[in-house]
Structures are given as C-alpha cells and as structure tokens.
Amino acid sequence: MVAREGPEAPATAVRHHGRVGTPLLELVGVTKHYGAVRALTDVSFAIGPGEIHALVGENGAGKSTLVGVITGLVEPTAGTVLLDGEPQTYRNPRAARAAGVVAVYQDPRLFPHLDIAENVFAGIYPRHAPGVINRAEMHKHAAALLARLGVDLDTRAPLSSLSVAEAQFVEIARALATDTRLLILDEPTAALTAEDTERLFRLVRGLREAGTSIIWISHRMEEIRALADTITVLRDGKHVRTAPAVALTEAQMVQLMVGRDVTLTRTAPPAAGGQDVLTVSGLSGKGAFEDISFCVRAGEIVTMAGLLGSGRTEIAETIFGLRKASAGTVSVSGVPVEPRSPRRMQRHGVAFLPENRDREGLITAFSVARNITLPSSRALSRLAVMKPRLEQSMAIDQIERLEIKTAGGNALVSSLSGGNRQKVAIARWLATHPKVLILDEPTHGIDVGTKVHIHELIRQLAHDEGLAVLVISSDLLEVLALSDRVLVLCEGRIAAEFAGDEATQESIMTAAMPQATAVAQ
Amino acid sequence: MSQVRELVRRRAYELLLVVLIAAALVWSANVTSYLSVPQLFDSTRSFVVPGLLALGLLVVVLQGEIDISLASTIGVGTVVLARLSAAGLALPLAFIVVLAVCALLGAINGVLVTVAGLPSLAVTLGTMGAYRGLAYLIGGDTGYSAFDPTYSSLGSQYAGIAPASLVLFLIVAVIVAFLLQRTVFGRQTYAVGSNPIASRVGGVPVNGVKIAAFTLAGLTAALAALVWIGQYGSARADNADGSILFVVTAVVLGGADIAGGRGTVLGTVLSLFLLGTLTNGMNLINVGGPTQTLVLGILLVASIGIPRAARLLLQRRARPA
C-alpha cells in the first residue's frame, strides 16, 4: 500500500517541474477490477511535463476508468499513480484538484442555475470573511480567466443560458482557476464548432508552453495528428503502446486499437432474403441523427456499429417510440406505424432491449416471473383479471427455454447474475412473440460464457424462427460474429454498409471515425 | 411449522401491527372502564371516513405519487350532496353525480401530474386549496342539515352489531386488494411505482395507469362524503379539513413505501385499526385534540424512519461477511 500523501500537500506551491528526467505523472501497474470485470490490467506509462499526450482506444478500452484513477474518482485495485515521482492516493477529485490534476468531461458537470463566475469558482470562492463571498473579486477573476481563454461571456449570465460549447469553456476556466499542472480533456471537441475547436487548440498549445501537461482523449485522428506530442493506445484495459506522435501512422493507430485475438467466431451463414419486416426511411431525431434509412428482413441480423454518441441508441429509441422523431417513417411488415409510444410499437410486434438493463430493462424489485409476464399482462388476463396459472406457465416456459439460472420464478431479479438478468430481459419480450427484436448492447458487462449463449440465442431467433433482429454493439468482435449485415454510424448518419462476411474490424473502425472517413475517401 | 415460519417472515410487518393493536386494546381497557365490544365497534366509525381515503391514497402512493387534496374532495362531495338533497333528487342519482364529480377532481390531479409532468405533491397541495375553495363556492359558509333520511342511512345505520359504514369500508378494502393483487392494473401499479422508466419500456401505459389511480382515489372520497353525511347529519364546505394527516399516516404506517412500489391493503387496514384504537383510547381518557395531532405526527415520521433505519442496520451487518 502506498503512504497517504495527501491533499494537504501544498497545492499552490511554486510550480516546479520535478527533477530532471522525472515525468510529471507516472502510472505503474495500475489495475482495476470490478468483480470479474477487468477494466484495467497492469497499465504503466508516463507523461512528461509540458506535453500533450493523446489517449486513444475503442469504447470500453479503459480510458474513462484510467482518468478516474488519475483524478481520484476510482480507487485502483493495484498499482500506483506518481506525481513528480511521489506516490499519490487521492481520496476524491477535490484532493486531486488541490494537487493540480483536473479533468474536464464531455458533458460539463456544472451548476445550471448559478452564474458563470459562481461556476468557475464553485467551492473555492474568494471571500471577504469566512462564509461571505467577495463577489466583485470573483467576477473580476472570472472575466480575466475567460479572456485568457479567448471567449467573450458575461460572467453574470446563468450557466443554463450557454451553449454546450460555451459551458465547456467555463469548465476549462474552472480547471484553470486553480493552479492546474495536468489537465485532462475527455472528447473536448465533440460539441464544438470548427471555430471553437481552433480556439481550443490554441489554448491547449498555450498551456503547454506554460508548462501544463494535457491528456487529450479523442476519437478524431485529425485532432490527434494536429496536437499530440505523444500517443498512448489502450485496448481491453491493457496498455498497448506509448510512442511519439511522429512514429505512428493513422493506420497503425487503428490497428493497435482493434487488433486483438478473435475469440468470438462467425458461424452464421447469411440468411436467405426474407421479407422486409422493419423498414425505416428518412428517420431524423433532432440533434442526434439525420436521414436514416434501412430495412431489416425476416430472419436477418443487422448490427449498427459506431462510436459512442454516433446516434445508434437514439435511433433505436426513436423506432421504439421512446423519443420523438423529427422526420421520417417506420413501417412494420409493410404497415406504416407512427412510433408514438413503446406500448404502441409493442402491439405492432416490435421489442426493444435497452442498454441499461437494471434501470430501463427490468424491474429489479419484481420476481423473475413477474418481470417475464409484465409486457404480456393483457394476453394473460381476462376482463383485466390476471390468470395466475397462465402466468406461471409462461414464466416457467421462458425460464426453461433460455436456461435462466434462478432459484425459481418467485426469486427476485435482483438476486440474479448480470447474464441471467439479461436473459430475463430478453425472455419478457420473447413471450410477446415479437416480429422485430432491437437489442442495444445485448452482452455489455456479461461474462464470456453467457455472451456466447446469448449470441447463439440471437442467431436461433433470427435464422430459425425468422425474427428481424437489429443489434447495437460497440464490441467489434460481436458485430463480426453476429452480423448478416453491418451498418456503420458516424455522427448521426449511416457512413457505410457492409455484408456480414465482407466487414473487417479495420473497415468498420475506419468508417466510424469522423475524420478518418474524410481521409479515406 | 415451516409454513408458520414462512408466514412470519413474509408478513412480519403485518404481525407487528396486530401485536400493537392488541397492546393498544389492553392499554385502553386498563385506562378506562368504558371499553366494551359495542363501544369498540362504535369507535370504528371515527376512522371509516379517513380509512376510505387511505385505501384510495394507497394506490396512488404505490405508484410513487401522493394526493393530499383528498380531504378537500370530501368537502366538495358533501356540499354537492347537500345541494342535491335540497333539490329533492333521489339518493341513487345524487350519489352517481357525486361519484362523477369526485372522480373528475381526482382525474384532474392525474392529468396535471402526468401530461403536464408536475410533481404530485405540488399539484395536490394546489388542488387541496382549490377544491376547498370550490366547496365554499358550491356550499357557502353555512352548514346544511335538512337531509332526506335516505342520504344519511349509510353512515348512521347498523348491520347487526357493526356499523354499516364499517362493512362498507371492509368491502372497499377487499375490492382494492383484489384490484392490486389480481388485475392487470394492480400489476402495472406496482411496476410503475418500482421503476417508471422500465415500466414504460415494458409497454405499461404509465400516464393512463397514474390517471386511473388518482381517479380511483377521487371515487373513495365520494364514498367517504356519503358516510360523512350519515355520521354527522350535516354538510359544510370545511368538512374533513385537516384530516389528511391521519390518512397519510395510516398509509405509511401500514408499511407502504412513500417512494412507491411496496405496500399492501392488509397493512393499511391494520394500521387504521391501530390508529383507531389509539384514538379511541385517547378520547376515552380525554386526551385533547392538539395532543392527538402531535402523536399522529410523531407516528408518521417514525413509521417512515424506523423501517429505513432497520434496513440500514441489516445492510451494515450483512456486509462484512
């Protein structure tokens, strides 16, 4: 165990860059396991002073967990974080901030009802006397900070009146309000216009000149090319390579990000073309996706691949009636259906398995049997009175069919393992005999054994029983193993379409990368 | 034997209430010499009005909402009955009108909560005032007591040894229990209270189910209004004002989770009997109204706090295994 150095260490001490040759931040053997899930395994690399360090990897490669470890949000299972060669164990992000380590996230974590200056100085307000805020001083400093960032904002405006991009600059100003030595930016340009991006680039370069180190997390190759001094690639929670930016080509980077051993193998022959069951045309959702058209045939598995934020989940939710479409139509078996509510879509034979199983997919306080029968309540009742015997037999059928490991139909869902919960979530839809099954990350956070079982189940449902299946997955191996057809989403549009046996990890990743698309064409 | 143990485990809370009722009975028998079976039956009349409301409120609370406007709805119900009696309308017709009016008031709450997406505490705090005002507009400031005798029969007559209103209460309790345990609506009620998002994804018409619950609560207020008139023989706009504390206490003390998803009719009925016995005992030894209100308030907070504290303790003990 590491001695507790703490937040008490002089945070505002004179800026020193450590001994010559000592990196600003060094990670040694950092490991984080959540139960059986290995988020990070033995990650070691160093970040020098005054360096822009790009951190890249697929979704789920462990970037967020690593940022959490560096900023004290996540306690590592093993390993050490060294700042200036001194081991650190921050109890929380506040302690990390006091030591000069600050992260700025994609979704600004600010206070919408406070004004800009109050947000910038939240928690460290300049004071007249204990408990009395010196507002004049606070606004003066906030204005100076914003001017340094090159943004012109009224420090008295409430945060809620700002655009996402402006809020992000406020959050960066907040990071700079303390003496920040390591600034972590997580997908900072996702919401920025080209002009704002350029402004941010200038700022980041300026910070580097002043000796601050930056960790830049991004999926955009162009940005990494333009900014990074050093690049670190993570894959499956493991450190793959840290190299000077000039030593890696874009193709090499993609290869390092995806190139792992294939353990899930493709066994499915492409289905013979059935009839179109789910037809989506010109579907748009404000701010999330635009002009999406595709169809899924009976007996076919179509996957939607793409990066986080590419609009996949939003498309699925819109088709299922959980979100409003701003344009476009959805038809099921040739009948146009306006996706107004999940109930309506369910009646037309559409089923949707949300990504967040415990929050949206299941009622964890209910028994296994009641979860399975909930969407079928109407079919299991006469004159609105439930028929317990029918209910019981439906639950038993599904438990046996999906081999759900449970103490019985009356056991609470909360007592089941993740994989078995997922089976319950699938079972409740199968009991309604759907025509279309939409699965959002069906094996997210599930152990490999159950994963293979769920894959077999999906194939059986499509190829043997003729369901039209639409799968959203960030796991490229899963995409390759399951797909009869792959749609690659990029920034809310379909960027590419591949037949299942033609797709490769590289071709999917290339199409999914916002800037790489432009380069490839 | 194991069945007994299973019963104790699953119905521990209800058994606790039974024990408390017995204790309260022994206590009232000791502090007073008036206690007798007819006196006890008679005393149940004091909680039938709030008890009917509690059965309606239970359904709303199970869905994770609250309705504190119900006592005002009674006020509207009684003055409407007074107007209709004065107009010479026969009771069955008049009662249908009152049922419709109270159901509408409940449905308005439901629509404001679901369609407008407003928090139910704020909505029903507002309608609590608004419906009381409505009662004054309809009934004026003065009471009305020249009721046709048929109007007051339900609240004043006896079915054998038991007051008819107590029988009515028990019938309504059985109906609500059946609704909750055996119907699609009941299943959806518990689902919505446990997890509204997952319920929506699972095809439950969340808004419709909630509006139905508020409407049902309005219907129980209509029944309560009719019982009120029989018990007191008069109607005035301020009827049942302030009784909502008793109603909410009954539901929460009955083991319903104020956040929704958990609770039973049996628990609510038992807690009503407990509160009724306590109130009866306090009345018999001349404990004043303000003191009784104080006791009720403490019971409400304790009934929310104690189970939560117990759960925390259990979790803490379970963890370092």
Supply the range of the domain harboring residue B276: 13-305
**B313 in any annotated domain:** no
Domains and CATH numbers, chain A: 52-258 (3.40.50.300), 270-349+435-521 (3.40.50.300), 361-433 (no CATH)
Nearest CA in chain A to B202: A375
Q: Which residues of chain A make contact with B63, given a CB cutoff of 8 A?
A: none
pLDDT tens for B188-235 read 999 999 999 999 999 999 999 999 999 999 999 999 999 999 999 899
Nearest chain B residue to A354, by CA: B201
Q: What is the pLDDT of residue B1?
A: 56
CA distance A418 to A358: 9
Q: Where are the alpha helices (DSSP H) in A38-163?
A: 63-70, 93-98, 116-120, 135-149
Residue A487 CA to residue A483 CA, distance in Å, equals: 10
Give pLDDT tens digits for A110-155. 888 889 999 888 878 888 888 888 888 899 999 998 888 888 888 8
Search chain B and give the residue with CA nearest A358.
B198
Residue of chain B with shortest Cα separation from A365: B194
User: Lowest-pLDDT range, B260-269, B279-288, B306-315?
Assistant: B306-315
H-type helices in A131-193, by residue range? 135-149, 164-177
Instruction: State mean pLDDT over B280-308.
Output: 84
Of B183, B191, B205, the CB nearest to A385: B183
Residues B243-262 have pLDDT tens digits of 999 999 999 989 899 999 99
pLDDT at A13: 35
A412: chain B residues, CB-CB within 8 Å:
none
Residue A96 confidence class, pLDDT cut points 50, 70, 90: confident
- Pairwise CB contact (< 8 Å): A366 & B191: yes
Q: A359 vs B195: CB contact, 8 Å cut-off? A: yes
**Beta strands B158-159 and A493-499, pairing class:** unpaired
The model carries a pTM of: 0.76
Cα separation, B275 vs A147, in Å, equals: 66
Which pLDDT does position A447 carry in this prediction?
64
Q: Residue A36 above 80 pLDDT?
A: no
Where are any strands of DSSP class E within A14-57?
Answer: 25-34, 37-47, 52-56
pLDDT at A60 over 70: no
Among A residues 279-338, those touching chain B with beta carbons less than 8 Å apart? 320, 322
Is B267 a domain residue? yes
Please, which residues 404-443 of chain A have a Cβ atom closer than 8 Å to chain B?
428, 432
Q: Do B202 and A381 touch (CB under 8 A)?
A: no
CB within 8 Å: A374 and B202: yes
CATH number of the domain to which B177 belongs = 1.10.3470
pLDDT score of B150: 87
Mean pLDDT computed over A509-516 = 75
Q: Indicate the number of domains in chain B.
A: 1
| CB within 8 Å: B201 and A361 | yes
**B320 has pLDDT over 60:** no
Q: Is residue B4 part of a domain?
A: no
Could you tell me if residue B3 is inside a domain? no
- Domain annotation covers residue B276: yes
- The predicted-structure confidence for B37-76, as pLDDT tens digits, reads as follows 888 888 888 889 999 999 999 999 999 999 999 999 999 9
* Longest pairwise C-alpha distance within chain A: 81
Average pLDDT, chain B: 89
B186 contact residues in A (CB cutoff 8 A): 386
Check: complex ipTM more than 0.90: no
Q: Is residue B269 part of a domain?
A: yes
Yes or no, beta carbons of B200 and A354 under 8 Å apart: no
User: Would you mind telling me the total number of residues written for chain A in this entry?
Assistant: 521
Q: Please judge whether A365 and B182 are an interchain contact, meaning their C-beta atoms are less than 8 angstroms apart.
A: no
Q: Which of A110, A126, A113 is nearest to A178 (CA)?
A: A126
> B205, exposed or middle or buried, with CB in 10 Å at 0-12, 13-18, 19+?
middle
Is the model's pLDDT at A274 over the cut of 50?
A: yes
Across the interface, of B183, B198, B205, the residue whose CB is closest to A363 is B198
- A390 near B CB under 8 A: no
- pLDDT tens for A209-260 read 988 999 999 877 778 888 999 999 998 888 999 999 988 887 788 788 876 4
Q: Is residue B310 part of a domain?
A: no
Say if residue A273's pLDDT is above 80. no
